[in-house]
Amino acid sequence: MTNITLRSHLTEAALDPNLVYLIEDIASSCRVVANTVRNGAFEDNLGSADAINVQGETQKTLDILANDVFERICANSPRLAALVSEEVEDVTWLKNPKAGDYLLYFDPLDGSSNLDVNLSVGSIFAIMQVQSDGDREVLHKGQRQLCAGYALYGPSTMFVLTLGGQVTGFTCQHGTGDFLLTHPNMKVPTETSEFAINTSRYQYWDASVRRYVDECVQGQAGPRGRAFNMRWTASMVAEIHRILTRGGIFLYPSDSNNQSAGGRLRLMYEANPMAMIIEQAGGAASTGHGPILDLKPTGPHQRVSVILGSRAEVERLVTYYQTSNSAEL
């Protein structure tokens, strides 16, 4: 049993104290969201935002409640200049930005279609910095993330964080609420025999994604010469956590059905933070045509094609895109 808390981990990293306050505020938000999710059924909060509960009151979804929690708690951080949330159309400015202030990008409750069926959900976040006094630009490349992480609300609540360098996992101790170090230096195994994709979209995939998945499904008799396993939880945080634990590849590619939107998943608070975490853990993260972290965002809610996980598998699919003759998505 470890006694290393999230706070002692952050203190040891010799960070700007204001960044420590912000990460601790995010962790506190995640603790509160974990409880809110756990008690969702009692509060009648599992439904859709415009639903009316049995008392005739308008329900707030857990997504909105989770966003409120992040906004309320993180607003305490003295150097937090702005919030970019999946739940809020516009950027929320908390102060006149000064060079070095922090920008928080977050999805307060990811995978929320899993709530009704009591499966794992999570929160995802990344932090960047304001470049100069008065600069209100938030559309920075993922390479500029100072840190990224997620909370997983599963059988236990976990907080997984990278400050660049290593990926570290903490488990919330039931009773004290402390996040204690349980998963030091998490690594994505290079090779894997497990893939995660929503195969109901096969009809929309381009030739490269079809080729990759077809070859996995052919198992030992196919060109890969070995059996593959498939998982799909419909909760990105849960998929990424599995990949950080035992390897695998996660795909939500751009396809003919979502291409006009750019893909399904959001760049700034889903793909970028997860790409940083996966890369710091030794994996790779690509759109199929280039590193996710190299993308110059066009908007705070931009969607993007996502392929990430075990390096050798991501590189294989990228090669399929490079060698494909067809004009792909």
Which residues does 221 contact at the CB level (< 8 Å), separation at least 6?
A: none
Taking the complex as a whole, the smallest distance from the CB of residue 204 to ligand F6P amounts, in Å, to 11
Distance of CA 28 to the CA centre of its chain: 18
Give SS3 for 307.
Answer: strand
| Residue 270 vs 279, nearer CB to ligand F6P | 270
Tokens found for residue 135: 């600069």
Between 62-74 and 17-38, two packed helices, what is the crossing angle to 10 degrees?
A: 150
Taking the complex as a whole, the smallest distance from the CB of residue 6 to ligand F6P amounts, in Å, to 24
Residues 128 and 180: their CA atoms lie apart, in Å, by 25
Taking the complex as a whole, the smallest distance from the CB of residue 155 to ligand F6P amounts, in Å, to 18
Residues 244 and 148: their CA atoms lie apart, in Å, by 14
Between 207-217 and 311-323, two packed helices, what is the crossing angle to 10 degrees?
A: 130
Nearest residue to ligand F6P, by Cβ distance, number only: 236
Taking the complex as a whole, the smallest distance from the CB of residue 236 to ligand F6P amounts, in Å, to 3
| Residue 102 vs 153, nearer CB to ligand F6P | 153
Taking the complex as a whole, the smallest distance from the CB of residue 271 to ligand F6P amounts, in Å, to 10
| Residue 235 vs 287, nearer CB to ligand F6P | 235
Give SS3 for 13.
Answer: coil
Residues 322 and 326: their CA atoms lie apart, in Å, by 10
| Residue 79 vs 266, nearer CB to ligand F6P | 266
| Residue 6 vs 209, nearer CB to ligand F6P | 209
Give SS3 for 82.
Answer: strand
| Residue 53 vs 198, nearer CB to ligand F6P | 198
Residues that bind ligand F6P (CB under 6 A): 110-111, 113, 198, 234-236, 252, 265, 270
Taking the complex as a whole, the smallest distance from the CB of residue 233 to ligand F6P amounts, in Å, to 8
Taking the complex as a whole, the smallest distance from the CB of residue 207 to ligand F6P amounts, in Å, to 21
- Work out whether strand 102-110 and strand 80-85 pair parallel, antiparallel, or are unpaired: parallel
- Nearest Cα neighbor of 233 from 135, 319, 74, 118 is 118
| Residue 130 vs 236, nearer CB to ligand F6P | 236
How far is residue 190 from each of residues 181, 194, 207, measured CA to CA in Å? 24, 12, 24
